[in-house]
Structure formats: structure tokens, C-alpha cells
Structure 1
Amino acid sequence: MRKYFITGLLILVPLAITAWVLHAVISTMDQSLLLLPPEWRPEKLVGFQFLGLGTILTLLIVFVTGLLAQNFIGNYVVRLWEALLNRIPIVNSIYSSVKQVSDTLFSSSGNAFRKAVLIEYPRQGSWTIGFLTGVPGGDVVNHLQGEFVSVYVPTTPNPTSGFFLMVPKKDAIELDMSVDAALKYIVSMGVVAPEHLPPK
């Protein structure tokens, strides 16, 4: 019975957590319906709420915003809006930090999190997986001898926290492994191992 119970847990727990996360995300995005006038909301028109309608509205708003920002007028409005936010003391620091991170992560021309690497950490003879985030910049470069890379080392099983390291490029071994596979490997604490590939 213990064996059957554990097998049932292994099947149902991932399904339950996936459903819970999806429900939380969709419910949060459904809050965008509050942007509509009260008389246009589904509960007023048909008498009940449509789960997921706000998600569609959110995706539509994101798409239209990106579309408008691509033309000359939209680009000008975005620059004005950013200039306004940069004049507000506390908002300036928060907005600029978040924007730099999002530009780095989501830009198609950026290199953040494009490669999984193997580095020796936290001590010699001990290895972990990290992700390339770029190269050191600013005054840091003046104090480093040789070629260095910036690496983010996530913690297990929560990869949203971790450590930022600057290591010699020669010590960061690029892995023939997708970022998704590396994240699964880290989050599962090594249980879900990627497919073994023969050395090139």
C-alpha cells in the first residue's frame, strides 16, 4: 500500500501544483478586467465571470503596447514617460533597476541566460551549474586581470535566489545543455538528470 500511495503522490502532486500555479497566474491576470467600465464587465453583461478572459485582455494590452511603441509617435511617448519617471526620486531607482534587468533578460539581442556553464564553486573540487549573464563592466574591469565572464549561480530548489560571480572565462565550461534542462536539473536537486551526451 505504501508503494501505491507514493506512486499516486508522484503523479498527483505535480499536477496539483501545476494547476495551482496556473490558477494563480490566470486569476492575477484577470484583474485587468477592472480596467473596463463596470457596465462592460462580464458579470454585468452575462451575470457571471469568465475565468481567463482577463488573461486574454492582458495579452492583448501587452501586444498593442508593443505594437504602438514600435512607431515614431509611440517611441516618443515612451521616452517622455521614462523621462518623467526618472525625475521621481524613489520611483527612479526602482524603475531603472527593473528596466535594466528586463532589457537584459528579454532583449532578443542580449546574451543573458543563453548558456549554461559548469564552474568550480564554492570550493576547489566542488562543481555547480550557472548561467552566463554577460561580462563585468564599470570600474570592476580595471581591477580584474584577464578575460572574465559574469555568472549567475541559482540556489536549489528555488532558482530565483542565488549568487552573482565573476569568474575567469577559461574556468567557465560551456555545457551542451539547454537552459531549460539545466534549470530542471537544479530545481530537482539533481534528480531529473539531462540526457547523457557523448563528448565531442
Structure 2
Amino acid sequence: MKRYFITGLLIWVPLAITAWVLVLIVGTMDQSMRLLPTAIQPRTLLGFDIPGAGAILTLLIIITTGLLAANFIGQQLVRWWEHLLARIPVVNSIYNSVKQVSDTLFSSSGNAFRKALLVEYPRRGAWTIAFLTGRPGADLLRHLDGDFVSVYVPTTPNPTSGFFLMLPRTDVIELEMSVDTALKYVISMGVVAPPSTHSKKSAASKPSAAAVAPPIDPTIT
């Protein structure tokens, strides 16, 4: 009975959590229906709400905004909007901070979180997965002796919190696994191991950051 119970849990728990997350996301996006005039909302026209209608409306708003912002007139409107927000105290600092982070993370030409790394943290001999986020800039370079890279070390099982470190380039090892695979490995607390791409002999050898670390693209900023 215990074995059957655990087998059932392994089937239903992922499904239940997936359904709960989807319902939460769709329910939140359905709140966008309030943006429509009351006269054309589904409850007014049909007498009941349509689940998922708000999610479709949200996607349409996002896509339409992207289409409008892609042309010259749309770009001018975006600049005007950002200039307006920049003149509002408190709002300007919050908006600019969020915009810089989102531009870095979601830009197709950016380098943030494009590489998975292996670093020694929190002490020598203890290894963990990190993600390359760029290079230290501005005044920091004057105080750092050598070539350094900026990395983000996520916590597990919640990778949205973690630690930001600036490490010598020779102390990080670039992994061949994708960022998605590395994230799955972190979130699963090491349970979902990435597929091996090396022979057993090479996998059994002890890594050395200074000796085997492949060069990271120096153009990454």
C-alpha cells in the first residue's frame, strides 16, 4: 500500500501543482477584463464570465503594444511616456530600475543568463551552479585587480533569490549544459541530473577552476 500511495503521489502532485499554477496565472490575467467597458463585458452580454477571456485579452494587449512600439510613431510615444515618468518623484527611480533589469533579462541581444557556470561557493572545495550576468563596470574595475566576471548564484529550490558575486574569470568553469537544464538541476535540488556529455573517465576527474576552465567570451559586458 505504501508503494502504491507513493506512486500515486508522484503522478498527481506534479499535475496538481501545474493545474494550480495555471489557474492562478489565468485568474490573475482575467482581471484585465475590468479594463473593458461594462456594456461589452461577458458578464453583461452573456450573464456569466468566460474563464480565460482575460488571458486572451492580456496577450492581445501585449502583442498590440509590441506592434505599435516597433514603428517610428510608437517609439516616439514610448520615449514621451518614459520622459513623463522620469519627471515623477519615486516613480522614476522604481520604473528605471525595473526597466534596466527587464531590458537586460529579456533582450534578445543581451548576454545575461546566457551561460551556466560552475563556481566554488560558499567555500573552497564546495561547488555550485551559477549564471554569467556580465562584467563589473564603471568604478568597480579600478578596484579589482585582474579580469573579473559578474555571476549570479541562485538558491534552491527557489532560484529567484540568490547571491551576486564578482569572481576572477579563471575561477569559473563554463558548462556545456544549457541555462534551462542548469535551472532544472538547481530547482530540483540536484535530483534531476543533467545528461552526461563526457566519458566516465573525464567525469570522474576532479575539476580545477584554474586548470580546466575554458575561456569565456571576453566581449561579454
Q: Same fold (TM over 0.5)?
A: yes
Q: Deviations over 1:153-172 (max 9, x none)?
A: 00011111000001111211
State the shift of 1:15 in Å.
Answer: 0.7
Alpha-carbon distance in structure 2 between the residues aligned to 1:35 and 1:75: 24
Aligned residue in 1 for 2:26: 26
Counterpart AA for 2:93: S
Cα distance in structure 1, aligned partners of 2:38 and 2:133: 45
- TM-score, normalising length from structure 2? 0.88
The one-character-per-residue Cα deviations of 1:45-99 (angstroms, maximum 9, x if unpaired) are: 1121111111111111111111111111111111111111111111111101100
Q: Structure 1: how far apart are the matches of 2:79 and 2:85?
A: 10
The one-letter code matched in structure 2 to 1:67 is L
1:168 equivalent in structure 2: 168
Q: Distance in 2 between matches of 1:122 and 1:47?
A: 58
CA shift, 1:123, in A, is 0.5
Tell me the equivalent position of 1:65: 65
Partner of 1:140: 140
Alignment partners' CA distance in 2, 1:71 and 1:94: 27
- Matched to 1:173, the amino acid is I
Could you tell me how far 1:33 is from its partner in structure 2?
A: 0.7
Consecutive unaligned residues of structure 1, counting only runs of 5 or more, are: none
Is 2:44 the counterpart of 1:51? no
CA RMSD of aligned residues (A): 1.1
Where does residue 92 of structure 1 map in the other structure? 92
Which consecutive aligned stretches of 4+ in structure 1 deviate over 3 angstroms post-superposition? none
CA distance in 2, matches of 1:80, 1:143: 38
* Identity of matched residues, %: 70
Report the residue type matching 1:88 in the other structure.
I
Matching of residue 3 in structure 1 with residue 3 in structure 2: yes
Q: How much has 1:180 moved relative to structure 2?
A: 1.1
Match of residue 178 from structure 1: 178
State the aligned residue count.
200
The Cα of 1:103 is off from its aligned counterpart by 0.1
* Distance in 2 separating the partners of 1:110 and 1:133: 9
Report how far residue 20 of structure 1 moved: 0.3
Quote the residue 2:212 is aligned against: none
Taking the aligned partners of 2:32 and 2:65, their CA distance within structure 1 comes to 14
Measured after TM superposition, the shift of residue 7 of structure 1 is 1.1
Residue 191 of structure 1 aligns to a residue whose secondary structure is: coil
What is residue 16 of structure 1 aligned with on the other side?
16
Mapped partners of 1:119, 1:172: distance in 2: 5
**Which residue is 1:151 aligned to?**
151
Structure 2 unaligned residues grouped into runs of 5+: 203-221
| 1:187 alignment counterpart | 187
